[in-house]
Structure 1
Amino acid sequence: MIRLELAGGHTRLHATLCSACPQGPTGCCASPPGVEWSDIGKIVSLGGAGWLLEQMAAGNLRPGRRGLLLLRVAPEGSGGQALPKRCVFHGPEGCTIPPSRRAATCNYYVCDDAFAHGGELRGNAEALAGRRAHDTLVELYGAWDIELADRISASWPDGPPWDRGFLDWLGREYDRGAAKAAARLAALSPG
């Protein structure tokens, strides 16, 4: 079953298949997405600039070419076994950070198997709405990332400074992009 929490650019998708993921208990968190430029802006826009700086200082997030990369760690209690590494924020009950601190992909992504299991192929309304929301968010966040990458390269050819001023700029840019996409995001809001 697919469950959709409509909240504009902060929409979340849930799938019952995730709790019994055929890939194992770590599921998608074995290959977490990067925290792309638009994700950083979203997190800052929701009050998380200080949290990002703390996580960078702790080594859980590190600068990458397209934003921040998440540290991958061996599961607790693995005793050094060759188990797959996973996102540093993945715990025994799933993600340990609130949705406002996650990459947008972590909130809206469910795999094709989960959509199929959730009824997309049978025409289930919630699954179909979830797919539409997913596709809209993939398109919007992808476009924002391309635009932001170009602007960052032009403004900081040697790489951004990774300070509060830069993060605040990304937050303002995220808000600007969300305002431009207001009509499309309104379709992803309840009511």
Structure 2
Amino acid sequence: MIRLELAGVHTLLLSPLCARCPHGRAGCCEAPPAVAWADIGRIVSLGGRDFLLAEIHEGRLVPQTRGLSIRRAPPSGPFPERCGYLGEAGCVLPPDRRSATCNYYLCDEAFAAAENEGDPRVPRGRKMHDRLTTLFGRWDLELAEAIGARYPRGAPWDAEFLDWLGAELTARVRKARM
């Protein structure tokens, strides 16, 4: 059975299969997603600006041309090299501080396992997964263009920039009626 909490861009889609991932102990977290422009705007809109600034300062999040990358943790114990936020019991970050992908992505195996168990949430989960993938992809492209126009020398990675990015995403979310 999957856990589905519909909350627009803050939707959570989780599966117990993740804990016993057929792809390895770290599962998806072996290759963490970027914290892309729309993800950063989402985190800021949820009050996470200072969290992002602190993580950048500590080097756990590293500025890149597409947003931020997550510093990987070296192999240890049962884990291979992986996302720096993956702990023994799963992600150590609350959902409002994660990349949106970490909240709504489920692999085909997890959807299939839930479908085989007769989980009635699978169709809604797949639909929301697809919608969020499309929206976040579009917003990342739009925000990259807006950042290039406003900050031709590159993102300054300060509080003012992050607040602006949060407001830009909020406007797009409103337009999408999420």
Q: TM-score, normalised by structure 1?
A: 0.89
Amino acid at match of 2:51: W
Q: CA deviation at 1:24?
A: 1.7
Q: How do residues 48-127 of structure 1 correspond to structure 2 at under 5 angstroms?
A: 48-77=48-77, 84-119=80-115, 124-127=119-122
Q: Report runs of 4+ in structure 1 exceeding 2 Å deviation.
A: 75-78, 121-125
Q: CA deviation at 1:25?
A: 1.8
The alignment-based identity, stated in percent, is: 52
User: Equivalents in 2 of 1:135, 1:159: separation in Å?
Assistant: 31
CA 1:122–1:77: 2 relative to 1, 3 Å = closer
Unaligned runs of 5+ in 1: 186-191
CA 1:19–1:122: 2 relative to 1, 3 Å = closer
Q: CA deviation at 1:123?
A: 7.0
User: Equivalents in 1 of 2:30, 2:23: separation in Å?
Assistant: 9
Kept in 2: contact 1:42–1:171 (CA 8 A): yes
Q: How do residues 22-61 of structure 1 correspond to structure 2 at under 5 angstroms?
A: 22-61=22-61
SS at match of 1:24: coil
Aligned residues: 178
Q: CA deviation at 1:75?
A: 4.0
CA 1:123–1:146: 2 relative to 1, 3 Å = farther
CA RMSD of aligned residues (A): 1.5
SS at match of 2:121: helix
SS at match of 1:68: strand
Q: CA deviation at 1:87?
A: 0.7
- Structure 1 partner of 2:3: 3
- Structure 2 partner of 1:158: 153
SS at match of 1:62: strand
